[in-house]
Chain A
Amino acid sequence: MIPAAFEYHRPKDMAGVLAVLTQYGDDARVMAGGHSLIPMMKLRMADVPHLIDLQSVEGLGGISVADGVVRLGAMVTQHDIIDSAELASAAPILRETSLQIADPQVRYMGTIGGNVANGDPGNDMPGLMQCLDATFHLVGPDGERTVAARDFYESAYMTAREDDEVLTAVSFAVPQGGYGYVKQKRKIGDYATAAAAVQLVKENGVCTAASIAMTNLSDTPVHSVAAGDALVGTSVDDAAIKAAVQAMLGDIDPAQDNRGPVEFKRHAASVILRRTIERAWSRA
């Protein structure tokens, strides 16, 4: 568990980060909390000759809720999210999700930016960001640009972020209605066997909007448009939930691992989604 030798860079500003990225290209990687990248380096599964630590870069922190928009700097930790009264009120699904990520020690270090940018299908935040239709803010040598969370993930560890870009923040409209993030895991610190993020709106007993995303059931997070659509216009009764679950099953593509075979994961995904919808509806 000893990494290969690497150069450690700790720039003070984004210009410094981009300069190192430009200079070393593929050989450089930025690190936020480091709780995914450092283990990969220690296992020698990631070869990072130049490691750029973002801890000292100005302007990457901060949680703001203004004009109906939530914005989280990339270096906001999961603990910061759990600890924020503002977020607990504006977007409680973030707190519910963060509390199910790893353990308190990891959550003090793990960041929203690292969690979404790494592209690990096991991470919880990417699915949640897709559920919330979040926007990812990137900066690179050619300036800033944004990418929708729903367009960001290509395959495991492959994202729309270019090698010389840094993810600086995520933002999304203050979510409306009921919410739920339910995760089945084997133990504390584990990735999901199946997890679902649901945000839905109830008006006069009818679901008027629903967004559903699943975690660790494909090589990317899965935003299931069809599952959400199956709820809209219904009273989220048993038939509607069954339809949503069926639709979701058409969108996921889980792989067998130590958590179990595909058949089990598909069943777990169904059960977890049903429970998440019921929870969200009860809160709507």
Chain B
Amino acid sequence: MKDEVTTRESRVDALGGMGCKRKRVEDARFTQGKGNYVDDIKLKGMLFGDFVRSPYAHARIKSIDTSAALALDGVIAVLTAEDLRPLGLHWMPTLAGDKQMVLADGKVLFQGQEVAYVVAKDRYIAADAVELVEVDYEELPVIVDPFEALKSDVVLREDLVAEDGSLPDGAHGPRKHHNHIFTWEVGEKEATTQVLDSAEVVAEETVYYHRTHPCPLETCGCVASMDKVNGKLTLWGTFQAPHAIRTVVSLISGIEEHNIRVISPDIGGGFGNKVGAYPGYVCSVVASIVTGVPVKWIEDRMENLMTTAFARDYWMTGKISATKEGKITGLQCHVTADHGGFDACADPTKFPAGFMNICTGSYDIPTAYLAVDGVYTNKAPGGVSYRCSFRVTEAVYFIERMIEVLAIELNMDAAELRRINFIRKDQFPYKAALGWEYDSGDYHTAWDKAMKAVDYDGLRAEQAQRVEDFKAGKTRKLMGIGLTHFTEIVGAGPVKNCDILGLGMFDSCEIRIHPTGSAIARLGTISQGQGHATTFAQILATEIGLPADSITIEEGDTDTAPYGLGTYGSRSTPVAGAATALAGRKIRAKAQMIAAYLLEVHDDDVEFDVDRFVVKGAPEKFKTMKEIAFAAYNQAIPGIEPGLEAVSYYDPPNMTYPFGAYVCVMDIDVDTGEVDIRRFYALDDCGTRINPMIIEGQVHGGLTEALAVALGQEIAYDEMGNVKTGTLMDFFLPTAWEVPNYETDHTVTPSPHHPIGAKGVGESPHVGGVPCFSNAVNDAFRAFGLRHTHMPHDHWRIWKTANELGLHG
């Protein structure tokens, strides 16, 4: 078909741009087993590292004997803290401004802590050698309870106590106790107290968000290769933030940044677990520098669950006040945050409790106060944002539980209570009591759509009948209706208030158009399954008028990609997606000048139309972007440099605030504690939708991880600090068997400050899903007097709730 007779619609379709259900271009290799993950990297002469780990949660190390291990054939070296000390690498900085032992320096603070690093010719020999390293431990008292930690005489971190016994300030100010890390306060303390004291109704509850773990299918790992001839270090790894890793490696190793190349190859899921820097990376780099050959380190599943970055572990005590009619007047929240042995939370520097101060949620709460106390215990370090943006999951779980508790206190329907307290559409941009400015929202429309879709009144009538039947002995199953309206805060973030280790949280995109009208775009982010190669090409296709199929997206190689802070916290679309659109617009601006020259008209006399520039008022006169690309390189145009490239670094003016309305309907067997999720409805508003199919996939994935966390997934410790859930037998990772059918829906409220109005979606379903599942469990027992029961809602805990309510006769 000749170009002239194609319709505008068919030209739009041919681009595969924004809004279409483009199939994921990544899937061809993943579904055929042709992905290239870090453990697929095999280099000549490569050695393998493996850790000797502490069996104790708190112990002094009296001696380490490596002689038997070193005597084993094939063992090259065994590193201990003593070997790293001369390099100053026996400790390393954490993302939270604390420091962490790379290898145990005189003591261990959690079970599984890295004690020695064995380097051997293959991983089998390394594993054998690990068994041969003899460590003499002297056990110390173990503290696994953060409240006990704040009272205990036992000092976990002697390195943070001055010789005279005083406590130097931490990275976030004064410390109250030797096991205390920081206090973070936001909001108006006295005003909130006054509101609460004079309120008509106050509901109070302690909500524990248990410790869990992101558990990506691929564990953490790296390959370090120091080329001693040219002085270059190449580091492949499972990094969610490869550029930040390069800078951190440079800062702590002293190797100049241009001599470090960090590459994130295909990554098998991250969910926050792969944001931080781990001892395995440092030891592998040191081992490669020492040996002059590449060294690979790959965690096994138990090491992943026990040692690299956990999530949550927040004890949240709240008070919420309202008028008798249910209008909320104030909110107070105190958090005791268990950070484990080192503070290695991955939060922007100014936010030691992440964005916990979004805990006023979707509601117009005029007065609020939040205080968070971080605490050291004998547990693994971490505190990362597991499929969420910096503690927003904790914040949303807290407020959505408090709303339910307040509804009980008011003897009100929880849906109606939400409805009368939502921030109204006309209040946006909305300045929340705890500091954030919500960009846009239309909560009532979303909520009403959700309530209608599930026939909310019908569900409540059915539930009331079920309670009657239960009391009459006709059934042993209760029905729970879980409601959640969440507001996310993603796209970190504006450099003025968001940095990690001093690195501003902008992101970037660099585009090169090839002469024949195809292109490559490189970004500072890195996909771990999000489908960036698909969606960013769609953004560009719409912006520059070249087909998405003709655009290669490349990320993860710091030698080629522009600098960016990586992918986590749903920041790729809000930040790098904006950079992509803006870089595309720079391309378009130059293309416009070229088109005008070719069409022999003034720049202002041509306009962009899908895949071409046309002369205004004369659409038969045009130049396609493909023609313009060729001319850009091959035609001498006065006053215009050859080539067609652009780069954009985007510092977002604000965060974006996706939101959603979720409803879960479940049946609970009160005798076994088993749960059957009958229905799950998820309405998401992520602003402009780039690829509805990928959004749906993200929602399904996020909800599934939410189901996991709400119904059983936890990192549990016994009183000796032993991890009780170190394998997938006990750590709940749902499969198709456990996952219900999900109904997805949407509204579209674009972000007013984002170039294409997109807000990000990857983490919304997790953030909204967890309280929705949990609220359903709690709601099932509301008629029998339950106010709140803690997650995870596994069989025995649900059974225990039923038992305590006297439902077992």
- Min distance, Cβ B760 to any Cβ of chain A, angstroms: 30
- Interface residue A1 (Cβ < 8 Å from any Cβ of B): yes
Nearest neighbor of A258 in chain B, beta-carbon distance: B730
- Interface residue A5 (Cβ < 8 Å from any Cβ of B): yes
Chain B 109-131, CB-CB to A under 8 Å as 1, else 0, gives: 00000000000000110011001
Given the contacts A258-B724, A260-B799, A267-B808, A1 and B734 also touching, CB distance less than 8 Å: no
- Interface residue A190 (Cβ < 8 Å from any Cβ of B): yes
Chain A 244-272, CB-CB to B under 8 Å as 1, else 0, gives: 00000000000000111100100110011
B672 and A272 contact, CB distance less than 8 A? yes
Specify which chain B residues have a CB less than 8 angstroms from the CB of A187 in the assembled complex: 712, 732, 734-735, 737-738
- Interface residue B790 (Cβ < 8 Å from any Cβ of A): no
Number of residues on chain B facing chain A (CB within 8 A):
30
A258 and B800 contact, CB distance less than 8 A? no
Chain B 707-723, CB-CB to A under 8 Å as 1, else 0, gives: 00000100010000000
B738 and A1 contact, CB distance less than 8 A? no
- Min distance, Cβ B633 to any Cβ of chain A, angstroms: 53
A-B contact count (CB 8 A): 66
A1 and B795 contact, CB distance less than 8 A? no
A2 and B124 contact, CB distance less than 8 A? yes
- Interface residue A193 (Cβ < 8 Å from any Cβ of B): yes
- Interface residue B671 (Cβ < 8 Å from any Cβ of A): yes
- Min distance, Cβ A27 to any Cβ of chain B, angstroms: 17
- Interface residue B185 (Cβ < 8 Å from any Cβ of A): no
Specify which chain B residues have a CB less than 8 angstroms from the CB of A190 in the assembled complex: 729
A260 and B795 contact, CB distance less than 8 A? yes
- Give the contacting residue for A271; candidates B672, B716, B737; CB below 8 A: B672
> CA of A235 to CA of B777 in the docked complex: distance in angstroms?
38
- Give the contacting residue for B300; candidates A1, A4, A186, A259; CB below 8 A: A1
- Give the contacting residue for B725; candidates A188, A191, A258, A261; CB below 8 A: A258
- Interface residue B302 (Cβ < 8 Å from any Cβ of A): yes
A186 and B794 contact, CB distance less than 8 A? yes
Chain A 1-12, CB-CB to B under 8 Å as 1, else 0, gives: 110110000000
> CA of A190 to CA of B123 in the docked complex: distance in angstroms?
30
> Chain A: interface residue count, which band?
20 to 34
Specify which chain B residues have a CB less than 8 angstroms from the CB of A267 in the assembled complex: 671, 799, 803, 808
Interface of B is mostly: loop
Specify which chain A residues have a CB less than 8 angstroms from the CB of B738 in the assembled complex: 187-188
B672 and A261 contact, CB distance less than 8 A? no
> CA of A2 to CA of B129 in the docked complex: distance in angstroms?
12
- Interface residue A208 (Cβ < 8 Å from any Cβ of B): no
- Min distance, Cβ A88 to any Cβ of chain B, angstroms: 22
Specify which chain A residues have a CB less than 8 angstroms from the CB of B724 in the assembled complex: 258
Specify which chain B residues have a CB less than 8 angstroms from the CB of A264 in the assembled complex: 673, 795-796, 799-800
Interface of A is mostly: loop
A184 and B674 contact, CB distance less than 8 A? yes
A1 and B301 contact, CB distance less than 8 A? yes
- Interface residue A145 (Cβ < 8 Å from any Cβ of B): no
Nearest neighbor of B130 in chain A, beta-carbon distance: A2
Specify which chain B residues have a CB less than 8 angstroms from the CB of A271 in the assembled complex: 671-672
> CA of A268 to CA of B669 in the docked complex: distance in angstroms?
11
B128 and A184 contact, CB distance less than 8 A? no
Specify which chain A residues have a CB less than 8 angstroms from the CB of B795 in the assembled complex: 184, 186, 193, 259-260, 264, 268
Chain B 769-809, CB-CB to A under 8 Å as 1, else 0, gives: 00000000000000000000000001110011001000010
Given the contacts A184-B674, A184-B795, A258-B725, A4 and B732 also touching, CB distance less than 8 Å: no
Specify which chain A residues have a CB less than 8 angstroms from the CB of B302 in the assembled complex: 1
Specify which chain B residues have a CB less than 8 angstroms from the CB of A261 in the assembled complex: 796
A2 and B301 contact, CB distance less than 8 A? no
> CA of A258 to CA of B726 in the docked complex: distance in angstroms?
11
> CA of A282 to CA of B738 in the docked complex: distance in angstroms?
28
> CA of A85 to CA of B91 in the docked complex: distance in angstroms?
64
> CA of A189 to CA of B738 in the docked complex: distance in angstroms?
11
A2 and B796 contact, CB distance less than 8 A? no
Given the contacts A1-B302, A103-B735, A268-B799, A258 and B716 also touching, CB distance less than 8 Å: yes
- Interface residue A283 (Cβ < 8 Å from any Cβ of B): no
Kindly identify, within residues 719 to 752 of chain B, every residue whose CB is under 8 Å from any CB belonging to chain A.
724-725, 729-730, 732, 734-735, 737-738
Nearest neighbor of A261 in chain B, beta-carbon distance: B796
Chain B 486-515, CB-CB to A under 8 Å as 1, else 0, gives: 000000000000000000000000000000
Nearest neighbor of A4 in chain B, beta-carbon distance: B128
Chain A 183-209, CB-CB to B under 8 Å as 1, else 0, gives: 010111111010000000000000000
Given the contacts A103-B735, A188-B738, A268 and B128 also touching, CB distance less than 8 Å: no
> CA of A259 to CA of B799 in the docked complex: distance in angstroms?
11
- Min distance, Cβ A8 to any Cβ of chain B, angstroms: 14
Specify which chain A residues have a CB less than 8 angstroms from the CB of B124 in the assembled complex: 2, 5
Specify which chain B residues have a CB less than 8 angstroms from the CB of A272 in the assembled complex: 672
> CA of A222 to CA of B302 in the docked complex: distance in angstroms?
32
Specify which chain B residues have a CB less than 8 angstroms from the CB of A259 in the assembled complex: 795-796
Nearest neighbor of B670 in chain A, beta-carbon distance: A271
Nearest neighbor of A193 in chain B, beta-carbon distance: B795
Nearest neighbor of A188 in chain B, beta-carbon distance: B737
Specify which chain B residues have a CB less than 8 angstroms from the CB of A4 in the assembled complex: 127-128, 131
- Min distance, Cβ A101 to any Cβ of chain B, angstroms: 13
> CA of A261 to CA of B302 in the docked complex: distance in angstroms?
24
> CA of A150 to CA of B123 in the docked complex: distance in angstroms?
44
A184 and B732 contact, CB distance less than 8 A? no
> CA of A191 to CA of B123 in the docked complex: distance in angstroms?
31
A186 and B127 contact, CB distance less than 8 A? no
Specify which chain A residues have a CB less than 8 angstroms from the CB of B799 in the assembled complex: 260, 264, 267-268
> CA of A188 to CA of B738 in the docked complex: distance in angstroms?
7
Specify which chain A residues have a CB less than 8 angstroms from the CB of B725 in the assembled complex: 258
Kindly identify, within residues 300 to 318 of chain B, every residue whose CB is under 8 Å from any CB belonging to chain A.
300-302
> CA of A260 to CA of B730 in the docked complex: distance in angstroms?
12
Specify which chain A residues have a CB less than 8 angstroms from the CB of B671 in the assembled complex: 267-268, 271
- Min distance, Cβ A188 to any Cβ of chain B, angstroms: 4
Chain A 135-166, CB-CB to B under 8 Å as 1, else 0, gives: 00000000000000000000000000000000
B796 and A260 contact, CB distance less than 8 A? yes
- Min distance, Cβ B676 to any Cβ of chain A, angstroms: 13
B128 and A186 contact, CB distance less than 8 A? no
- Min distance, Cβ B477 to any Cβ of chain A, angstroms: 12
Of the candidates A103, A260, A272, the one having the most CB atoms from chain B within 10 angstroms of its own CB is A260
Nearest neighbor of B734 in chain A, beta-carbon distance: A187
Specify which chain A residues have a CB less than 8 angstroms from the CB of B301 in the assembled complex: 1
A184 and B672 contact, CB distance less than 8 A? yes
> CA of A264 to CA of B801 in the docked complex: distance in angstroms?
11
Kindly identify, within residues 668 to 708 of chain B, every residue whose CB is under 8 Å from any CB belonging to chain A.
671-674
- Min distance, Cβ A278 to any Cβ of chain B, angstroms: 13
> CA of A37 to CA of B800 in the docked complex: distance in angstroms?
35
Nearest neighbor of B738 in chain A, beta-carbon distance: A187
A186 and B672 contact, CB distance less than 8 A? no
> CA of A54 to CA of B799 in the docked complex: distance in angstroms?
43
Q: What are 28 contact pairs spanning A and B, CB under 8 A?
A: A1-B300, A1-B301, A1-B302, A2-B123, A2-B124, A2-B300, A4-B127, A5-B128, A184-B674, A184-B795, A186-B712, A186-B794, A187-B732, A187-B734, A188-B737, A188-B738, A189-B729, A190-B729, A193-B672, A193-B795, A258-B725, A258-B730, A260-B795, A260-B799, A264-B800, A267-B808, A268-B673, A271-B672
Q: Which 6 A-B pairs have the closest CB atoms?
A: A260-B796, A2-B127, A188-B737, A1-B300, A271-B671, A264-B796
Extra inter-chain contacts (9) besides given A2-B127, A5-B128, A189-B729, CB under 8 Å: A2-B124, A187-B712, A188-B738, A193-B672, A258-B725, A259-B796, A260-B795, A264-B796, A267-B808
